[in-house]
Structure 1
Amino acid sequence: MKILVTGAAGFIGMHTCLKLLERGNEVVGLDNINDYYDRSLKDARLALLAERPGFRFLHADIENAAEMQAIFGEGRFDRVIHLAAQPGVRYSLANPHAYVNANVQGFLNILEGCRHHPVESLTYASSSSVYGGYATLPFHESQNIAHPISLYAATKKANELMAHTYSHLFRIPTTGLRFFTVYGPWGRPDMAPMLFAKAISEGRAIDIFNNGDMLRDFTYIDDIVEGVVRVSDKPATPDPGYDPAQPDPSISNAPYRIFNIGNSQPVKLMDFIAALEKAMGREAMKNFLPMQPGDVPATSSDTTALESWVGFNPNTPIETGVERFVDWYKKFYRINS
């Protein structure tokens, strides 16, 4: 089994590659190693992957159509797991073109690669942000997502629409996974767990938006990867229950599926911070701020459909996940307790 994983130097990408390699798959990892955040972390992730037999790295950019067609033509991949993207909600306020280039144009190039060089399945990263300001919790895949409140969310919704088009026209089995607040070892430096851990270790105040009145469905990285791999192993199929008179946006009469993947146990942000303080053995200084543009006050996932499809439901307790994250953080950054 030869699998292309885009975004291999990224947080979820690296862990996904490791999981596939551990079970004996041949993995081609692709990344452009951009400077959105510190390259040294990406280099360290790739160094870890390079130690594993069966891994080959391609330094390439999904935005380059000609380059991607050549990679697909030469690669002859059995499956594709597409995790490369321009992430971050707040960054999109100042750098909108980066999101359209990477998340829309880049995804089109992936779809075209799968069209002209057929694969068993295409699994790709969507996001819980597509639910926008939806007020009814938990979020369910059948809900309307017509009101994204960030450009990042809009590009992820566009990915789902583009995937359906290619599934319908060219019968490419596509499955989108709406990730909910992923955290854990090797996490992104721009996300709250890493920002908080760094500030606490340096004795600086942490910024807490919406005055701390936030609810997040924090999902541990191992659970995310387990879901990604299981979904990749089970290509999307047309759903015989699909009703075009009352269309469910998560299924289709084409080989197309959408699933939430979250812990389904949303946690108050202040409780997450308390768990982080306990694991680090230090109390955080706190700087309470108003809600930021593009943020949502709460996320919560209904993962019934995912469990029904692949027999898996994320379940790592927040205390366990935070302890594992802090243990890695202290070792990687050589921080004494």
Structure 2
Amino acid sequence: MTLLVTGAAGFIGAYVCRALRAQGQAVVGLDNYNDYYDPQLKRDRVAALCPDVDIRAIDLGDRDGLAALFDEVRPERVIHLAAQAGVRYSLTHPHAYVDSNLAGFVNLLELCRHRDVRHLVYASSSSVYGDSATPPFSEDQRIDQPRSLYAATKAANELMAHTYAHLYGLHATGLRFFTVYGPWGRPDMAPLLFSRAVLAGRPIEVFNHGKMRRDFTYIDDIVAGVLGALAHPSEQDPPHRVFNLGNHTPVELERFIAVIEEAAGRNAEKVYKPMQPGDMIETMADTRRAQAAFGFEPSTAIELGLPRVVDWCRGYFGERA
């Protein structure tokens, strides 16, 4: 069975491709290699993690290109990780989120429907919880008060997938990722931003004066959750489910920085700032549903995961850190 992975050159996508190939799966990927961050990092990531995966340069907005790929590859399962990411970027580039996360997602749903895809696993986000949920966030809590356009598009994806499951019987599984980090991670996220800055002796911006807690989830645990969800499509009516994938152990931001300082061997120069628009003060995943459905059990603490990020930054960026 051929598997299609969208966003295959992205952080989570490349690791997922590597894990699927290790299982002996036939994998084809797609990615548009956009410049939200340096495309060279994406190419280097692919070369390091999944060099044997055929990744096509296709944008989700290219309906004809997507259709041709589906007709050629005939995927029976799809892992959809391509999206315009980032909370803060959505404040200044809203149309990128509409084009990729809404229009692009409809294009993918239509192809999954018409090409008889057996199971669609797609990325949602912990950001969907917004102002209406209280920690620990459970999948049964409301998600109708998002704090950013990015979060709104991800909540919309869940509604759209549910609709296609209801109308057309498409088996779909949404995964709400909680602050995923690790080597080869996204350079716009705190784990890499802080690690690179501390290594280089640059100041770091600490928002909400450090009074924030995040459910940081290591990439290996996330990949295990993605593969677990893929292997267990819903049999309920309609066949659509949503799962939290997080470490279910929120970490104080100051503790997070301290672990990076220890791994880097130098103190951080902190610049305290007020809360950024769109950000959430605390995230914490209730993962009992994923544990019951496919045995999801994250095990990587930041004391183990963050030093790996710092070491990778030191090796990859060197003096450019």
Tell me the TM-score normalized by structure 2. 0.97
Amino acid at match of 2:312: W
4+ runs deviating over 2 angstroms: 48-52, 334-337
Amino acid at match of 1:309: A
Query: Which stretch of the first structure deviates more once superposed, 294-303 or 193-202?
Result: 193-202
CA distance in 2, matches of 1:62, 1:336: 32
Quick one: which of 300, 307, 310 aligns to 1:326? 310
Q: CA deviation digits over 1:146-182, x for unaligned, max 9?
A: 1011000000000000000111111110000000010
Question: In the alignment, is the contact (CA less than 8 A) between 2:31 and 2:56 conserved in 1?
Answer: yes
> Which residue of 1 is the match for residue 40 of structure 2?
40
Q: CA deviation digits over 1:87-112, x for unaligned, max 9?
A: 00000011000000000011111101
Question: In the alignment, is the contact (CA less than 8 A) between 1:50 and 1:56 conserved in 2?
Answer: no
Question: In the alignment, is the contact (CA less than 8 A) between 2:171 and 2:234 conserved in 1?
Answer: yes
Q: How does 1:128-277 map to 2 (within 5 A)?
A: 128-134=126-132, 136-238=134-236, 253-277=237-261
**Secondary structure in 1 matching 2:5:** strand
Amino acid at match of 2:35: D
CA distance in 1, matches of 2:282, 2:132: 9
Amino acid at match of 2:196: K
Q: CA deviation digits over 1:291-312, x for unaligned, max 9?
A: 0000010000000000000012
Question: In the alignment, is the contact (CA less than 8 A) between 2:132 and 2:144 conserved in 1?
Answer: no
Q: How does 1:102-121 map to 2 (within 5 A)?
A: 102-121=100-119
Question: In the alignment, is the contact (CA less than 8 A) between 2:18 and 2:50 conserved in 1?
Answer: no
CA distance in 1, matches of 2:140, 2:224: 23
CA-atom RMSD in angstroms? 1.4
Query: Which stretch of the first structure deviates more once superposed, 68-77 or 266-275?
Result: 68-77
Q: CA deviation digits over 1:53-112, x for unaligned, max 9?
A: xx2111100111221111112211121000000000000011000000000011111101
Q: How does 1:15-30 map to 2 (within 5 A)?
A: 15-30=15-30
% identity of equivalent residues: 56
**Secondary structure in 1 matching 2:318:** coil
Amino acid at match of 1:156: K
**Secondary structure in 2 matching 1:208:** strand
**Secondary structure in 2 matching 1:9:** coil
Shift of 1:276: 0.7
> Which residue of 2 is the match for residue 287 of structure 1?
271
CA distance in 2, matches of 1:172, 1:134: 29
> Which residue of 1 is the match for residue 61 of structure 2?
63
Q: How does 1:92-107 map to 2 (within 5 A)?
A: 92-107=90-105
Shift of 1:134: 3.2
Residues 271 and 49 of structure 1, relative CA distance in 2, 3 Å threshold:
closer
Question: In the alignment, is the contact (CA less than 8 A) between 1:227 and 1:312 conserved in 2?
Answer: yes
**Secondary structure in 2 matching 1:29:** strand
- The runs of 5 or more residues in structure 2 that have no matched partner are none
Tell me the TM-score normalized by structure 1. 0.93
Question: In the alignment, is the contact (CA less than 8 A) between 2:87 and 2:150 conserved in 1?
Answer: yes
Shift of 1:325: 1.4
- The runs of 5 or more residues in structure 1 that have no matched partner are 239-252
Query: Which stretch of the first structure deviates more once superposed, 188-197 or 325-334?
Result: 325-334
Question: In the alignment, is the contact (CA less than 8 A) between 1:211 and 1:289 conserved in 2?
Answer: yes
Query: Which stretch of the first structure deviates more once superposed, 315-324 or 147-156?
Result: 315-324
